[in-house]
Amino acid sequence: MVTREGQAPLAGVKVLDLSRFIAGPLCAQILADFGAEVVKIERPDGEDSRHHGPYYRDESIYMFLYHRNKYDASLDTRHPEALGILERLIEWADVVVENYRPGTIEKMGIGYERMKQLNPDIILVSISGFGQTGPDSRRALFDAISQASSGLMSMTGEPEGKPTLSGTYIADYTTGYQGAIGALMAILHRERTGEGQCVDVASFDTMFSALGIRLVSQLMLGLDMPRSGSRDLLTAPVNVYEAADGPIYIQAGTASLFPKLCEVMERPDLAADPRFATVEGRMTHQDFLEGEIGAWAATRTTRAIAEVLEDAGVPYAKVESVAEVARSPQIEARDMIVESEHPELGTIRMPGNPIKMEKTPPTVRKAPPRVGEDNEYVYSGILGLSNEDLIRLRESGAI
């Protein structure tokens, strides 16, 4: 899409967001951050996420994460008049984002074939658990199910422990990003050809594609790599060590980094030992090496360790808490916490967009809305309904 310098790259793109929870709303928010006009539809009592704590001034903070820059219109999709309203919004939209279980939008009367009748060049981004095809396509899925079914959970945790979930909703987030990429590719294709299309993004596929070296090792070598905890799969020594005041992660597994760590530790004997001269040797003896590094780290603070490792060029990181990293100068320098003023909720603080662009950066133009906050704009401003129509729809429970 051709844009003038300084103009948002998705300015003029209209998005109808029918999604819920995380992956779909995040996909639509990414488009909104780059200038798309996004209308989110949710039921009059609010989508499920609005009823999950913790709360800030009676509003779930889930809504602060995935709904900025959107216009919110309430609609009971089971109401007799809902189908007509949805069809008019589909006619208005360039992109529709939905993450219902496959088959649901067809039952609602707005499947892709119907969408194309209403809007021939429409782009539909369908985000689901297992995709629109395959024997598992109709199964319900949440983030944890994706982690378990895709193989990710089997790789996560200590070797002798249970398989473990990631500490965040990694499947939902990654699938949301993939949905946004798919939407952008479809928008670009339509710019060139005038053709819309359906974008099918599955959480299961997304996580499976992220299994990395473990997957290729299985496909090419028939090798099942066990869980490795915080160790690196391919090099050593790499792990978390307990310093005098907390944990620190040290990455010194390559041929160039290991001697630097030995020098910092004042252990030339380790660097000269032929057992540790190769990656394979260090992997074989990583229990011993980690014991030596752990004993060295235990007598020093994380700050002291960080200073000498920084000077030596050895990668490291103090294991930060969420509270610590949120206060870090790096987060501030990268604008990774942004604020927005809501007329009722006051100042809302949210994670910033990680995509930094020189000429067309993402922006926060509108605070995450409350349910139905923008009904008048959407139904009167976009669809042209009268005030009497709005009153009637409200009194009938449609909106």
pLDDT over 90 at 1, yes or no: no
Residue 317 lies in a domain: yes
Residues 6+ apart with CB under 8 A from 234: 213, 253, 279, 283
End-to-end CA distance of the chain: give it in Å, rounded: 35
Mean pLDDT of the chain: 96
What's the pLDDT tens digit per position in 115-149?
999 999 999 999 999 999 999 999 999 999 999 99
Residue positions counted in the chain: 399
Tens of pLDDT, residue by residue over 194-205, are 999 999 999 999
Quick one: pLDDT at residue 112? 98
Q: Does the pLDDT at position 6 exceed 70?
A: no
280 is a domain residue: yes
Residues 195 and 106 in one domain: yes
Helix, coil or strand: residue 220: helix
Together in a domain, 26 and 157: yes
Task: Specify the pTM.
Answer: 0.95
Pairing of strands 198-202, 123-128: parallel
Q: What is the pLDDT of residues 264-320, one digit of tens each?
A: 999 999 999 999 999 999 999 999 999 999 999 999 999 999 999 999 999 999 999
Q: Same structural domain for residues 367 and 302? A: no
Q: Is 37 inside a domain boundary?
A: yes
367 pLDDT more than 50: yes
Asked if residue 217 is part of any domain, the answer here is no
Evaluate whether residue 59 is within a structural domain.
yes
Largest Cα separation within the chain, whole Å, is 85
Mean pLDDT over 72-101 rounds to 98
Please report whether residue 262 resides in a domain: yes
101, 21: one domain: yes
Domain boundary residue among 270, 292, 324?
A: 324
Q: Of the residues 298, 324, 350, which one is the last residue of a structural domain?
A: 324
Instruction: State the Cα–Cα distance between residues 74 and 86, nearest whole angstrom.
Output: 11
SS3 323: helix
User: pLDDT band at 75, cuts 50/70/90?
Assistant: very high
* Residue that has been written with the tokens 């949710």 in this structure: 42
d(CA 257, CA 67): 44
The CATH code of the domain that includes 45 is: 3.40.50.10540
How confident is the model at residue 381, as a pLDDT? 97
Domain co-membership, 39 together with 95: yes
Which domain CATH number covers 319? Answer: 3.30.1540.10
Beta strand spans in the chain (E): 14-17, 37-42, 55-56, 59-60, 70-74, 95-98, 123-128, 198-202, 238-243, 246-251, 316-318, 337-342, 346-351
Digit-coded pLDDT (tens) for 209-258? 999 999 999 999 999 999 999 999 999 999 999 999 999 999 999 999 99
Does 227 fall in a domain? no
147-159: pLDDT as tens digits: 999 999 999 999 9
Looking at the predicted structure, is the pLDDT value of residue 5 above 70?
Answer: no
State whether 32 and 169 are in the same domain: yes
What is the band of 322 on the pLDDT scale with cuts at 50, 70, 90? Answer: very high
Same domain, 264 and 127: no
Quote the domain boundaries for residue 291: 238-324
**Looking at the structure, do residues 277 and 242 belong to the same domain, yes or no?**
yes
Active-site amino acid positions = 172
247 and 137 in one domain? no
Given 282, 301, 324, the domain boundary residue is 324
Q: What is the pLDDT at residue 248? A: 98
pLDDT of 2 > 90? The answer is no
The domain total for the chain is: 2
80 plus 133 within the same structural domain: yes
Average pLDDT over residues 347-358: 96
Which residue(s) pair with 241 in the sheet? Answer: 248
Q: Is 265 left (phi over 0), alpha (psi -120 to 50) or beta?
A: alpha
pLDDT above 90 as % of the chain: 98
Percent of the chain residues topping a pLDDT of 70: 98
47 and 184 within one domain: yes
Specify whether the CB–CB gap between 39 and 31 falls below 8 A.
no
85 within some domain: yes
| Residue 34 identity | F
Strand partners, 240: 249
Q: Give yes or no: residues 30 and 175 share one domain.
A: yes
